[in-house]
Amino acid sequence: MTGDSGVLIVDDEPEVVETYRKHLADSYSVRTVQSGEAALDALGEWVDVVLLDRRMPGMHGDEVLERIHERGVDCRVVMVTAVDPDLDIVTMAFDEYLVKPVSGDQLRETIDRLLRREQLDAQIQRIVEVGSKLATLEAKLGYEQLERSDRYAELREEFDQLREETTLGDVNEDPYLEATVENIDALLPERT
């Protein structure tokens, strides 16, 4: 992606923070902090992605994650931690979970994937919204009535155009996108 995308690195280990910063500084606008409290102070509109350690003294990463969402900060969160995932992660609102050690390539690939998701989310939401309306109309109204409706034709045209213009890339590289595409495709019956 670009250096315009803001990444906040949160880890209590200075060596880890510096290593991650070196790996990412060429590609993103990077800031680093070494505590949960400092992370919350550093949050702002500039943050697109937060790389968040779970196990830190003082405020743990889990609590930082909760506070990020309580504040309504519009960013993606990647848990980057030595804590192996367990069932406790089911209720946590993060976007990705990486277990240390992680390479610079892993960090960049994850951040890029999340930034692509962010960009696609608005398009996908509109596709789903329009698709839901079409599916409802097609399930409840007769074919002849739909064929006579200019409003239905416009909605159908918008849906087809959105599907054509929305580039999802290689969905096999991102399970989120793969599932989204499957859900969009299942939304509508085949056009007759």
Residue 176 lies in a domain: yes
pLDDT at 120: 73
Domain that holds residue 150: 116-187
State yes or no: pLDDT of 191 exceeds 60: no
- Domain closes at, from 67, 102, 137: 102
Judge if 58 and 122 occupy the same domain: no
State yes or no: pLDDT of 86 exceeds 60: yes
Strands 6-10 and 29-33: parallel
Mean predicted lDDT score pLDDT of the chain: 86
pLDDT at 192: 46
Residue 192 lies in a domain: no
Judge if 89 and 19 occupy the same domain: yes
Judge if 129 and 180 occupy the same domain: yes
CB neighbour list of residue 96: distance below 8 Å, 6 or more residues apart: 76, 78, 79, 110, 113, 114
- The more confidently predicted of residues 89 and 98 is 98
Residue with tokens 């690195």: 9
Region 101-113 average pLDDT:
94
Residue 111 lies in a domain: no
pLDDT tens figures, 111-149: 998 888 777 777 777 887 888 788 888 888 888 899 899
Residue 83 lies in a domain: yes
pLDDT tens figures, 18-58: 999 999 999 999 999 999 999 999 999 999 999 999 999 99
Number of independent structural domains in the chain = 2
State yes or no: pLDDT of 190 exceeds 50: yes
pLDDT band at 159 (very low <50, low <70, confident <90, very high): confident
State yes or no: pLDDT of 15 exceeds 80: yes
Residue 1 lies in a domain: no
pLDDT at 55: 92
Q: Dihedral of CA 175/86/13/59: which sign?
A: positive
Q: Which of 61, 186, 49, 182 is nearest to 119 (CA)?
A: 49
Residue 147 lies in a domain: yes
Q: Which 3 state secondary structure label does DSSP give 65?
A: helix
Judge if 50 and 17 occupy the same domain: yes
| Domain CATH number, residue 17 | 3.40.50.2300
Judge if 19 and 81 occupy the same domain: yes
